Structure 1
């Protein structure tokens, strides 16, 4: 189980969180003592210590998000993979990473907020970062997309 959720050397923290989500962290419920037994997942002492802090049963996903938020209290401290993406697949991956970054700073007690990164609504700042990271062949088409309704599309709707 540790191999599915371990932070790889050189991997960005948000990329690691998305990797954990994709490997089932949202469906793995752990009590505090069980979470502590996982040992060093993040390779950062502050995050690893916080993962097992709460005694009640919580999903590993929720533990990871709150631990990263505790370690990085300001969203500016967490950088998503910089640079341009060159394939549609990598672009979708980057958009999903932007969604995870948003989720780190969600109120964990607000049950109305999504727990799945693909269900996160694309905020205008997220979309702006996404378009700016796109190669010129995609950027012009993406830049003209405007949401007609008040409700922004989810990451999954954009990726679909």
Structure 2
């Protein structure tokens, strides 16, 4: 499966070293965006890692039920998130997600490396983990409520 979302995309060229805009869902912001530094393709890799994590467990790695965006930023900048469920995913998948969520952009794999890992079929089937049960318990709804409250519309 291929997935793409260009709603907040920016055209980059060989001359463009980095961007500085700060838009999007806070749960997926990379440490360099939180710190207000310029960012490049490594930030996209980070966000994709957050999406992989969410697909694995049903909520983003830096999910908070409150709207304390300072604490969220601290967790992101320290890459402090709950481990993926033991035994639910292959060690290769866990390692891949961990490398994608490296604090320093230079330590994250590039898109080709991620594809190489995927081509080796290291992302194995789930063992005894019920994603639909997680969704059914409302984690996704909690995330959306938190974002809505944080936007000021839910007050």
The TM-score, its normalising length taken from structure 1, stands at 0.31
**Greater relative contact order structure (CA < 8 Å, 6+ sep):** 2
Which one has a larger percent helix, Structure 1 or Structure 2?
A: 1
The TM-score, its normalising length taken from structure 2, stands at 0.32
